[in-house]
Structure 1
């Protein structure tokens, strides 16, 4: 009897220790609310730098719902576990972050915990934001606290059990989250390190361009090897890139700054929002990002920049895809006129050489809108004038004629999915000049 009492007592002690450990893992204290700081308390230069950093972080895209007010949240983010709605980060004191102290803001950025002590879902990429410096967090706080307050209560997430249990995020963090600010790489240039700091941190490029595991964490061993977002393929942006023409620093600067490049085509889908924001930040920031990413892409294979020769392929007699291409595409894409006056050389198209036709289907359906204030590429969308069968035939022909790799499979299913989501990114892009003017107007305290 005494022996069983000892065993029971030991088990009780172990359970108590386990319970305390679990509580310590999950619990975070509330940080007291503060009065919203006066916009006049922040210097204009600090606000301006905060705006630039927010643009690099693409904050407005995720925290502004379509037809919604700036930074008021409510944008649905689809995940394998359900839909999560972005939060209000305007300085509204009740539904936004107007009552957050700078310490509360920094904890959310560094540790993924809100002012009330709740663990944040990692759709808010604090696994990247944790590396941001104190100075940059301070500038971001100043910028957000000088925006127009927008009352917009948070929408309830639509997650299945057990993913709707927020306390489980503490366990996810234990497995996958490694907090800590960026440490410069010895032996690398100042520009390279600043680019790495931005790419790996605030710009969180890997959040889209890195595949994820079954629990939604980035597979760190496959960094920048490609991912997916909103029915678009986020291409590999490392040595596994499917681009027929190698990405170098100059091409990256042009593409990230203007949204297009003659050797690589035009940014579409979620990437169009990224370059829209990057068009308004200092050129030096974009150049540093390009310096780092050019190193990630690695050297050009055998020093070759031109795409490999494409064997002429007209298709079998009566091929409907060839006929559609001749009628709808060839007059621009075979005009030999340079961008933006002619179509991109399709032998250089990453969309055609990619592992699946999602991006090409989206582009064919929705087209390419011009960038305001820029001599940029333009292409009509064919979603209304072609049915799914015609688009399948065209994509199949383009892959065989201009692509590399085997024929795509499940093209019909991919086209059907693209049809359902083709209206998601139809709004025109905001050009660099307009973006800067708009930003300057909004930076007034």
Structure 2
């Protein structure tokens, strides 16, 4: 009996101590590809290229807190595990990356490790940035080094135990991360490969447009089949070629318009995507926008998120909800979105067939009805028409009725929502 107990104890020790220690050692000592930097003959051109990449990656959005200096960090990024604060990436030598080398910066983007070798939390999307070429990471670093230095100390993350134990990231990395540059597909055109490189790499689209598992790792990231945006309570719709929930029915020109201006005949962007378009995508070259659209349209159709369907009301209750919703729609919505939800593009987006309305989750429609919103102001749409907030005017039951009516009218088959669904998001901040 004692022999059995000793064996069991040894197994527990191995599981709790030896195995994690081995994984940590393997991750810490794992050989790192140093990349192959090219000689720089035009420093100014390299900095301009880096500035373009910083725009494409929307780096400023995360690394700038409201009212703070650009790229000086401090913005709180909400996660289910606590808050992560973005770091100062200005060239300040004490609090920023002024002491870093291009090799250190490559290590962070390609290998997900800081200058001192510590593991970075995957809220920083190194799982996507690992696909960047060494030349592009060097250009991005050159641009950041050209910025004014800002002496702002980095703030400690506010993560719950055990997520605040950084060494545990060794296990996460062993399961969910493998460094590797983008490899062009010889069977595709140069334009397609450019779109794939931007989308998979610096654009890090999978960070929002894919589901995450219980450990915060993207699931089937390459499918871009949609998912809840981590910590923000918005749904990022599928970007693949699924005919009903994705981009299968979109004209490529309309997709390009959405990415470049924020509005299109199919709909407009709100929430986090409005920030992406306003701060990032509108500044990309037309050729790059076209390349991204080409790549996204080529992605095989994949089923969107399929949560257990919400309880559907009995026939009599459904009829009552639809009658009330139709009345509210006629009073509040029809002037802009028209009698059959066709809208008046691009100023008033259609609701019929709109992903944000008819998708597997109703969160976006609920939040826009409650809080309103504006597409971003862009060069192609400098004076966007906005949606007024109806949350102060309507009860949870009324919001549920009008959203349910829209999701079940015309060609839409999105299903009903409940007042409790509305109440859940009424307390969520509009931003």
TM-score interval, smaller chain? 0.7 to 0.9
Which residue number in structure 2 is paired with residue 420 of structure 1? 427
Which residue number in structure 1 is paired with residue 344 of structure 2? 338
More divergent stretch after superposition (355-364 vs 73-82): 73-82
**1:271-310 correspondence to structure 2 within 5 Å:** 271-276=273-278, 277-296=280-299
1:195 to partner: Cα distance: 0.8
**1:40-439 correspondence to structure 2 within 5 Å:** 43-220=43-220, 223-229=223-229, 230-240=232-242, 242=245, 246-262=249-265, 264-276=266-278, 277-296=280-299, 316=320, 319-334=323-338, 338-341=344-347, 343-369=348-374, 371=377, 373=379, 374=381, 376-402=384-410, 404-405=412-413, 407-409=415-417, 411-424=418-431
1:351 to partner: Cα distance: 1.8
Query: Does the C-alpha gap of structure 1 residues 323 and 146 become closer, same or farther in structure 2, counting only changes over 3 Å?
Result: same
1:126 to partner: Cα distance: 0.7
Distance (whole Å) between structure 2 residues aligned to residue 172 and residue 318 of structure 1: 47
Distance (whole Å) between structure 1 residues aligned to residue 221 and residue 103 of structure 2: 33
- SS of the aligned residue for 2:84 comes to strand
1:244 to partner: Cα distance: 8.7
Which runs of no fewer than 5 residues in structure 2 stay unpaired? 1-6, 31-40, 303-317
| Contact 1:321/1:395 (<8 A) preserved | yes
1:277-323 deviations in Å (ceiling 9; x for gaps):
11112111111111111111669xxxxxxxxxxxxxx9659933222
1:107 to partner: Cα distance: 0.3
Query: Does the C-alpha gap of structure 1 residues 298 and 320 become closer, same or farther in structure 2, counting only changes over 3 Å?
Result: closer
More divergent stretch after superposition (88-97 vs 111-120): 88-97
Distance (whole Å) between structure 1 residues aligned to residue 62 and residue 322 of structure 2: 46
Query: TM-score, normalising length from structure 2?
Result: 0.81
1:222 to partner: Cα distance: 7.0
Distance (whole Å) between structure 2 residues aligned to residue 44 and residue 136 of structure 1: 14
1:221 to partner: Cα distance: 7.2
1:23 to partner: Cα distance: 5.4
1:21 to partner: Cα distance: 4.0
Query: TM-score, normalising length from structure 1?
Result: 0.79
Distance (whole Å) between structure 1 residues aligned to residue 353 and residue 68 of structure 2: 38
| Contact 2:261/2:277 (<8 A) preserved | yes
1:79 to partner: Cα distance: 2.1
Which residue number in structure 2 is paired with residue 435 of structure 1? none
Distance (whole Å) between structure 2 residues aligned to residue 210 and residue 337 of structure 1: 29
| Contact 2:225/2:240 (<8 A) preserved | yes
| Contact 2:237/2:356 (<8 A) preserved | no
Distance (whole Å) between structure 2 residues aligned to residue 349 and residue 395 of structure 1: 13
Distance (whole Å) between structure 2 residues aligned to residue 330 and residue 297 of structure 1: 36
Q: Tell me the matched-pair count.
A: 386
Higher relative CO (Cα under 8 Å, sequence separation at least 6) belongs to 1
1:184-206 deviations in Å (ceiling 9; x for gaps):
10110000011111111111111
1:83 to partner: Cα distance: 2.0
